[in-house]
Amino acid sequence: MSGYGNYNKQTGGRRRPNQVKSKSNSDNSSGGMYSGYGRSARSNYSSNSGSRSRGYSGGRSRGPKKQGRGQYIDPAKFVREATPVKQEDYTPAHTFNDFKVADVLKLNLASNGYEIPSPVQDQTIPLGLEGKDIIGIANTGTGKTVAFGLPVLNKLMTDRSAKALIIAPTRELAQQIDDEFRKVAKGSGLAAAILIGGTPMGPQLRSLRGNPQIVIGTPGRVKDHITRGSFRAKNFNIIVLDEVDRMLDMGFVDDVTAILGELAEERQSFFFSATMEPRIQSLIQTFAKDPVTVSVKTGDTSDNVHQNVVEYRGRTEKIDKLHDLLIQDSVEKTIIFHDTQRAVEELARELHSRGFKSDAIHGAKTQVQRQRALNKFKKSEINILVATDVAARGIDVKDITHVVNYTVPQTYADYTHRIGRAGRAGKTGYALTFVEVGY
């Protein structure tokens, strides 16, 4: 196995990074948007990324080194050519104009450059508009937010007694859903409360008192509000569970079940998940009514990602190889995964001192700090984000070219989540995993 590209041919003194390539980016949607759409502060359930062990350490031996705690993953599994699924392979049956939704929603889609419905949108929107319960099997990055967002927003605009609760596993994903809703619902007069972790309850309580038609939140905080009586869920007759598989992986099954039990009995449900295992099926069967399944799993995100390993011997060579990789021209925007909060901080500082435009994101940072780093990354003010697994869940930045696994992930499932950050929106990405070899 060889390292990726030609960076390992370089020796001696290291070239300093060039300035960040400036690229305007439509991802940044944090600006003030649609009238009446109230925003509240975020809340917390802490991520536990800091509790992970370091990937590997200790004495040297021949061949790939042991990978520390967690599952042993054969390094050969980190090497794979991309087999991109071409966008042209799918011909949508609809245009956005075909959908019977409020004009303002169509205008907003168009002004944000959404011209052709993605497969999940093409198949989900008509069923959603009919009021059907839907199970969507789709990855992040396939356009599923608009797939449920368009029918939900249209229903809320046409039926002022309707209310929608949207649950996501992480605060970042909840925030992204809010960002996407802001774009599509601009000028609709709808209001939302965001019930996520990291900041005080006060602003959330205030926005709930405004009687919003939309509540977007993470399971822990939504449940807290229900328990303390500040959020009355029984009028909510539309429910969206996004990334159900991750929600269950993260141990939220009891919270989610409790929340579903509080909703209006007559309701429409949207359940989205990348996988459909028995435990997810049983949750859905309990709460959905004659659901229709829409599956767009064929374009697995990782199919769009070239995967390879970077072999190194010892700490010095490791950071030097990372440096050489990051100064390559093809590397535009990179997320680097490391195993602990401390390691993430240290690496981000090291890269910063070497002249790279980098920042760190992990569970010990406040929500404001995380969001600030993420916004800088989206706006290309920095082009390197060093992250732990948990902090990076749900991050959707369209133009990430490279995912670097500076430490080997704990499980192959973590690996798949990580590399799914690259290769979005039909683009080919690169995933490079550092593997230590003996002398």
Binding footprint of ligand AMP on the chain (CB under 6 A): 114, 116-118, 121, 140-146, 180, 396, 398, 425
Q: Looking at beta carbons only, is 49 or 139 nearer to ligand AMP?
A: 139
Using DSSP's 3-state secondary structure scheme, residue 28 falls into coil
Q: Looking at beta carbons only, is 292 or 425 nearer to ligand AMP?
A: 425
Closest distance between ligand AMP and the C-beta of residue 189, in Å?
A: 22
Distances (CA, A) of 418 to 379, 393, 403: 21, 8, 7
Radius of gyration, alpha carbons of the chain: 22
Q: Looking at beta carbons only, is 140 or 433 nearer to ligand AMP?
A: 140
Closest distance between ligand AMP and the C-beta of residue 271, in Å?
A: 15
Q: Looking at beta carbons only, is 142 or 307 nearer to ligand AMP?
A: 142
Contacts (Cβ under 8 Å, ≥6 apart) of 304: 82, 84, 85, 422, 423, 424, 426, 427, 428, 429
Closest distance between ligand AMP and the C-beta of residue 243, in Å?
A: 10
d(CA 13, CA 11): 7
Closest distance between ligand AMP and the C-beta of residue 139, in Å?
A: 7
Closest distance between ligand AMP and the C-beta of residue 96, in Å?
A: 8
* Angle (nearest 5°) at CA 282 between 280 and 288: 95
Q: Looking at beta carbons only, is 142 or 433 nearer to ligand AMP?
A: 142
Q: Looking at beta carbons only, is 182 or 223 nearer to ligand AMP?
A: 182
Closest distance between ligand AMP and the C-beta of residue 192, in Å?
A: 16
Q: Are 408 and 436 in contact (CB under 8 A)?
A: no
Closest distance between ligand AMP and the C-beta of residue 92, in Å?
A: 9
d(CA 104, CA 118): 20
Q: Looking at beta carbons only, is 10 or 375 nearer to ligand AMP?
A: 375
Q: Looking at beta carbons only, is 184 or 361 nearer to ligand AMP?
A: 184
Q: Looking at beta carbons only, is 146 or 360 nearer to ligand AMP?
A: 146
d(CA 185, CA 379): 22
Closest distance between ligand AMP and the C-beta of residue 121, in Å?
A: 6
Q: Which residue in this structure is represented by tokens 């000028």?
A: 187
Contacts (Cβ under 8 Å, ≥6 apart) of 424: 141, 301, 304, 396, 397, 398, 399, 400
Closest distance between ligand AMP and the C-beta of residue 26, in Å?
A: 8
Q: Are 422 and 393 in contact (CB under 8 A)?
A: no
> Which residues make beta-bridge pairs with 384?
334, 358
Structure tokens at 104: 């303002």
For 225-234, which contacts have Cβ atoms below 8 Å and span 24 or more sequence positions? Answer: 225/195, 226/258, 226/259, 226/262, 230/201, 230/204, 230/205, 231/195, 233/165, 233/259, 233/262, 233/263, 234/262, 234/263, 234/264
Q: Are 424 and 358 in contact (CB under 8 A)?
A: no
Structure tokens at 356: 């790279």
Closest distance between ligand AMP and the C-beta of residue 80, in Å?
A: 23
Q: Looking at beta carbons only, is 44 or 108 nearer to ligand AMP?
A: 108
